[in-house]
Amino acid sequence: QVQLVESGGGLVQAGGSLRLSCAASGRTFSSYTMGWFRQAPGKEREFVAATSRSGGSTSYQNSVKGRFTISRDNAKNTVYLQMNSLKPEDTAVYYCAADIDGRWFAPSRTGDYDYWGQGTQVTVSS
């Protein structure tokens, strides 16, 4: 069983920045592919970014490329999402997720992941 706890959400003005964190339980965090998703009201959950076990490979949704950066610290069992140049359309609940298979194929579907956090709200005002 893997427990994921997100933090770092909040209210920010357009153009601002936030850094989300996701702390994972367990001793095998470094073997998981990790991802971030988001879900806006009335919309389906969508992929944001993913990182491989070592952090050496990453993938992003086109709309966040160049603005968001996913990273991880395996010593701290934590994955991060640095979000810059935020836009009102980035407003959503952000979730981190773990793929315990760990093989890197840039997973972007919700079904590719096995465990989910409870989410953290990000609100960007215009």
Which residue reads 């609940």 in tokens?
93
Binned average pLDDT, 10 residues per bin, the chain of 126 residues: 96 98 93 97 97 97 98 97 98 97 91 97 97
> What's the confidence (pLDDT) of residue 102?
83
3-state secondary structure of 29: helix
> What's the confidence (pLDDT) of residue 120?
98
